[in-house]
Structure 1
């Protein structure tokens, strides 16, 4: 595979992933009223929901840091590069599929800022899925051809 993914695109994706991690609490609180919904769960289920929310935030932030700090290593064709980019690609592809299949947009509050935000976030999720899938496939071809 001759196409080379530019570092700026990987770094841009990393910045976007960190942005999603930082904006995540705002979206849960202001857009989805998530905290009030979670309060209706049993205490253990509340903690489980909060823990998974933190996992999501932590993964998004960590994936972003990896992309910003070592973009060249993510495309060097090693088995580790394939494993990491494959993992991140699967994460974002699953997010995009879940977003389309299970999160109908009509539940987003109808304020203009939230509508624009939902399109922007969906764009980011798709960008992450495309960039990391491209990286994983590129790494796979480098491994096969070596």
Structure 2
């Protein structure tokens, strides 16, 4: 394994750990953003759909992390499946970065240093994940 291969393996592994950490960190977001009070204002169906979507996102992030930690060789073996999975993960995180800046109503963001620091950390993480999985996609495409 050359230095470039070693680097991408280490970075994908780190990305996996980061996504698993993100899942655990996400468990405090409902309390920090007061979801219970906010969701009390919507119908039961909307509330159920919201929690379902939130759970899907949490599970997808966890699965990306688990794949990146425990199936790293399969994610970087140059196969069509590895190419497509890395491409999917890259598009997922790139989309998340775009949503952050092009869709979210920034005026509604909570105020305060903790929220600003949290948003900064998340954006850095999302950009990091976008870059790493885009690079993994590239590595698989040239293998």
The TM-score with structure 1 as length reference comes to: 0.87
Choose the corresponding residue for 2:8, options 1, 6, 25.
Answer: 6
> Residues 82-93 of structure 1: matches in 2 within 5 Å?
82-93=83-94
Distance in structure 2 (CA, Å) of the matches to 1:82 and 1:57? 23
Using the alignment, how far apart are the partners of 1:120 and 1:43 within structure 2?
33
Alpha carbons 2:19, 2:64 under 8 Å: kept: yes
Name the structure 2 match of 1:19.
21
The CA distance in 1 between the partners of 2:56 and 2:62, in whole Å, is 10
Matched ranges for 1:130-145 at <5 A? 130-142=131-143
2:49 is matched with: 48
1:27-84 Cα shifts (integer Å, max 9, x gaps): 2321x22222222111111111100000000001110011111222211100110111
Residues 73-124 of structure 1 show CA distances to partners (whole Å, capped at 9, x for unaligned) of 2111001101111111111111111011122445333322221111111000
Q: For the residues of structure 1 that align with 2:34 and 2:110, how far apart are their CA atoms?
A: 10
Alignment of 1:1-146 (within 5 A): 3-4=4-5, 5-30=7-32, 32-142=33-143
RMSD: 1.7
Aligned residues: 140
SS at match of 1:72: helix
Distance 1:89 1:39 in 2: 35
Q: Structure 1: which 5+ runs fail to align?
A: none
Q: Give the Cα separation in 2 of the matches to 1:104 and 1:9.
A: 32
> TM-score with structure 2 length normalisation?
0.89
Post-superposition offset of 1:8: 1.7
